[in-house]
Amino acid sequence: MQKFEYVVVGGGIVGLSTAWTILEKKPSTRIAVVEKEERWAVHQTGRNSGVLHSGIYYKPGSLKSQLCREGNRRLQEFCNANGIRHETCGKVIVATTESELPLMGNLYQRGLANGLAVKKLSAGAVTEIEPHVSCLAGIQVPSTGIVDFVAVCQKLVELIGDRGGELHLGTEVRGLRCDSTEAVLETSKGAMAAGWIINCAGRVLRTETRAASFGQKPDLSGARSPVSFPGCPFYPHDRWQCSCRAKRRTESQARRIPSDLIRFARLLGHHDLRRVLASRCETCRIGTG
């Protein structure tokens, strides 16, 4: 049986960056990353919106806010050091009705309290930046960017391999045994022993299996997304995110995130996806049709 000091389960951005960080701190450590798919970053990481978030929405002083800003800075640093395409294009958040103006004012204050260089914009100034947007006013968040997360993962895989980390694709973790000195992972390609197992197998995937492996009762409450605007078919964590769904990706294409839509429609139990895709959100006035 192969033995490692660390085994990281999951080859998305969290697993790969965890393994890379461990190797940075402990270069001679024996570490393996196991991924059940035949390619890296094919789940959430490979299908997300490619946004380098600024942290504007988070409560000032909270850990989320600190980590988001620090993550934004460090990811840009990583991309610059490794020649990965990214762009700090900024983001514009707009109010389209009178009632949204005070909410946008609060968000502006939150941005300042989070240490972001947010700027108030008149409707005319918004149009100069985004000619197709019609609104009453807006705010600009300069530190939001776009990045190719799959390219980031590919680079991490290369760096982990260069430093002697083992990379196992097509290796599904199916069970776990623990004794006082080590843990043994049962995988589709045999058993692996490890001093430390770091579970980065994603948020939704295999929650029951993972919980059961650790002898716990499955609890899926952490796998659901909050829905503030149940009538909106677009991934609406909150009104502001809802109104910002039209965005560019690194390949400089505008898109309206159909993958988010499909995922969200499934979450709501909409089986007729064509109807959802043809619909229009009355809250944010974005439609895919």
* Residues near ligand FAD, by CB under 6 A: 9-15, 34-37, 41-45, 48-51, 53, 172-173, 200-202, 205-206, 260, 263
* Residue 274 beta carbon to ligand FAD: minimum distance, rounded to whole angstroms: 20
- Which one, 50 or 236, has the nearer CB to ligand FAD? 50
Residue number with the shortest CB distance to ligand FAD? 12
* Residue 16 beta carbon to ligand FAD: minimum distance, rounded to whole angstroms: 7
- Could you count the other beta carbons within 10 Å of the beta carbon of residue 49? 15
Instruction: Give the integer Cα–Cα distance in Å for 88 and 146.
Output: 6
User: Could you tell me where the DSSP H helices lie in the chain?
Assistant: 13-25, 44-47, 63-82, 100-113, 123-129, 149-162, 207-213, 239-242, 258-267, 273-278
- Which one, 97 or 225, has the nearer CB to ligand FAD? 225
Instruction: Give the integer Cα–Cα distance in Å for 132 and 248.
Output: 14
**For residues 261 and 276, is the Cβ–Cβ distance under 8 A?**
yes
Report CA dihedral (207, 209, 215, 220) to the nearest 10 degrees.
Answer: 30
* Residue 101 beta carbon to ligand FAD: minimum distance, rounded to whole angstroms: 26
* Residue 123 beta carbon to ligand FAD: minimum distance, rounded to whole angstroms: 27
What is the separation of C-alpha 269 from the centre of its chain, rounded to a whole number of angstroms? 23
Amino acid at 166: E
- Which one, 137 or 276, has the nearer CB to ligand FAD? 276
- Which one, 6 or 137, has the nearer CB to ligand FAD? 6
* Residue 128 beta carbon to ligand FAD: minimum distance, rounded to whole angstroms: 25
- Which one, 32 or 137, has the nearer CB to ligand FAD? 32
